[in-house]
Structure 1
Amino acid sequence: MTERRHEREFVRTFFTSPTAIEGEEDSAKMIRRAAQLRGMQAPDVWVPDNEDATAPSMRDEGVENIIEVVSEHGAEFPGEIHPRMVWHRDSPATRYQGFQHMLEIASSDTGAIEHIDGFVIPEVGDIDDWKKADEFFTIIENECGLEEGSLAMSVIIESGESELAMGKLRDEMGKATNNLERLFLFVDGEVDYTKDMRAMTPTGELPSWPELRHNTSRGASANGCIAIDGPYDDIRDVEGYHERMTENQAKGMLGIWSLTPGQVVEANQSPLPPKTGSWLLDVDGEQVELDSEDGVEVYDGDRVSLEETDGGYELRVGNDTRTLDEDELHEELLKLTSYVPSMDDIVDSMEEFEAAKEAGRGAIAMERSATLRIGGTEFDISTDRMWDEATYQAAMTPISLFQDVYENRPDQHDELNERYGAGVVERAMEVGL
């Protein structure tokens, strides 16, 4: 994995707010409200959005609002601040307007730029377009007395051109002719990407674009950047939002665009290890969480049944019924069950492996056992999983994420301590160091 070049190793939440609202007494009310979010409601990256979220006629006022609000509240905001500016790969006039707006913010005598970590550039094209944006950043830094490369640049992948550009970035980054090391976030913009690809679906809904999300995650990983999924428009569909985040996390894309403070809370919590562990049972391809009752994991549904017979056991899953002896049943239940470890479980395993490694052992077996109750019949299962250095490093990812959050978001300490317990948090901050 390529080393990150920025202070944040993980970004869970990318939250956009319109910079100016037409017809309101206070046109800056949305970014003023967002700037005062704290705790789990506050994103890791806040994006005052002077592009799509703000009407073209209001964008000059939006820049003024960014300057005013960030200069007033930026020092206390707990996340990073990356305003989104206008840009388009096919429009020199739009690119120039974005440059002028960034220069106005950076040169303001209010000191707003001191609290701004970078800018988000939408609608980028091929790699030459990325370098144009980077050059504007370099000019702004020199004009305003900032260190070269101090402003991070994030891009929104909204076209086939920009998707292909990620594959060329490794050959360009680090050359003396550019400052592309400033790149921070690669953000998917599926709506404009769908338009650029001329894609259609029978219902008119967006395609899911799993390939784009995979390519963005791969491109970010290969270049030391962070991948962020695009917006999930159905803000009331919490379950769907969670499913999308779970799919993304399996691709290494741990961050997602958030449209409301409620989505920010869900996205801030989603990639963190769970507070308690849970057993899952595969029921016709669906993972069903079992209820834990006095140390027994219980399935109360009607799609799986287990009965003890004179010759062994009768196990029914859906329409399939099988008669099994004790060993066969044990093997079958191991195939049907899985365990989601808690933060405490992960830390326990890592501490045990660290102790074994210090004692000169390169691999150890970790046992996991449970008593299942299905249809009133109880049965004990257990399995051993070998832990070696590769297993340890894989388990480190959620712990590294937690450590990054805890170090960079002190406003969330109370909530994290309440979620896991102070003792678990303390141990989690020490493993892997």
Structure 2
Amino acid sequence: MNAPAARPVRPRRSVLAVPGSNPRFLEKAQGLDVDAVFLDLEDACAPSAKPGARHTVVKFLNEGDWGRKTRVVRVNDWSTEWTYRDVVTVVEGAGEHVDCLLLPKVRDAGQIGALDLLLSQIERAMGLPVGGIGIEAQIEDATGLVNVDAIAAASPRVETVVFGPADFMASLNMRSLVVGEQPPGYPADAYHYVLMRILMAARSNGVQAIDGPYLQIRNAEGFREVAGRSAALGFDGKWVLHPDQVAAANEVYSPAQEDYDHAELILDAYAYHTSEAGGARGAAMLGDEMIDEASRKMALVVAGKGRAAGLRRTTSFEPPRA
């Protein structure tokens, strides 16, 4: 299926989870250096607090200063009695300040289609641009993973596919109580297949892949190790649960300065050598390295992430002297 082309690309190296029922956390979150926030009406809200949390979220979306952060609201999943009212209250009350809705525990494409339809009805009723609010799909069990390709392709609104490790581990009867850590007794990476499966579905549909939370918020090295695995595969970012995790996420999911500089040099060198002035060659040398069209594509990925992270070049390309 062709990748949808209409949705904006909003970087999400660090995605901060904020309880929708806690005004103090909602206030503090506005000043943190994260790319995105999601105001949570699901797991972070007790059942009795959910109705009031909807109105708290609307208030902070309308009155808060979120800067350039991507503003997301996690609604409850479709198996509950709360979902439709979450969507109606939030979008009718603050739709112009909502970038995406995050749908948890997605199990099939029909659940994305249902949210898409409801959003379209509310957008029309409220005079909002139809299709303007994106969808983030969270994969949290085996059925969702089996159907992840169809889920990622279910609507042009889909912007990200998110891994939810805690519920996923429980759904598999995985023998671990530490969310995000490897289960004891298994000598390899228990999450490699899951992460690659989500990544393939995301990339084949032109959307971002986001890793889920690491709950040991005081374990900085553990967070870096877990984040480093998904970043190495190509994931775009990770959820953060505490301010102490923010800087690490922004660093891990951004290129190192050396890699960013090298990527920009490859792009400049390839552009020069394929031009008439450079000899119109399809392959050329950059120092001791041969570069070609495949090199350019790889460099575009690294350079794009570096630019989005605000990195500045420390080197420049000099055409070889004749």
Fold similarity call, TM over 0.5:
yes
Q: CA deviation at 1:348?
A: 2.7
Q: For 1:217, what is the secondary structure of its paired residue?
A: helix
Partner of 2:58: 67
Q: Any residues of structure 2 matched to 1:359-370 within 5 Å, and which?
A: 359=278, 360-367=280-287
Q: Any residues of structure 2 matched to 1:160-239 within 5 Å, and which?
A: 160-169=142-151, 173=154, 180-201=155-176, 207=183, 208-239=190-221
Q: Any residues of structure 2 matched to 1:8-407 within 5 Å, and which?
A: 8=9, 10-21=11-22, 28-35=23-30, 37=31, 41-74=32-65, 76-88=66-78, 91=79, 94=80, 96-108=81-93, 112-169=94-151, 173=154, 180-201=155-176, 207=183, 208-275=190-257, 341-358=258-275, 359=278, 360-367=280-287, 384-406=288-310
User: Quick check: 1:8–1:404 contact (8 Å CA) kept in 2?
Assistant: no
TM-score (structure 2 length as normaliser):
0.86
Question: Which segment is superposed worse, 265-274 or 184-193?
Answer: 265-274
1:83-119 Cα distance to aligned partner (Å, 9 max, x none): 111114xx2xx2x5221122112222xxx32211121
Cα separation, 1, equivalents of 2:117 and 2:260? 44
Seen in structure 2, the aligned counterparts of structure 1 residues 135 and 227 have a Cα distance that, compared at 3 Å, is same
User: Quick check: 1:9–1:404 contact (8 Å CA) kept in 2?
Assistant: no
Cα separation, 2, equivalents of 1:29 and 1:261? 14
Seen in structure 2, the aligned counterparts of structure 1 residues 203 and 143 have a Cα distance that, compared at 3 Å, is closer
Cα separation, 1, equivalents of 2:137 and 2:147? 11
Q: CA deviation at 1:137?
A: 1.8
* AA aligned opposite 1:102: V
Gapped regions of structure 1 (runs ≥ 5)? 22-27, 174-179, 276-340, 368-383, 407-415, 429-433
Seen in structure 2, the aligned counterparts of structure 1 residues 3 and 125 have a Cα distance that, compared at 3 Å, is closer
TM-score (structure 1 length as normaliser):
0.65
Gapped regions of structure 2 (runs ≥ 5)? 184-189, 318-322
Q: Which has the greater radius of gyration? A: 1
User: Quick check: 2:164–2:212 contact (8 Å CA) kept in 1?
Assistant: yes
Q: CA RMSD in A?
A: 2.5
Q: CA deviation at 1:400?
A: 0.9
Q: For 1:83, what is the secondary structure of its paired residue?
A: strand
More strand by share: 1
Count of paired positions: 306
Q: CA deviation at 1:229?
A: 0.5
Cα separation, 1, equivalents of 2:177 and 2:156? 42
Cα separation, 1, equivalents of 2:177 and 2:14? 31
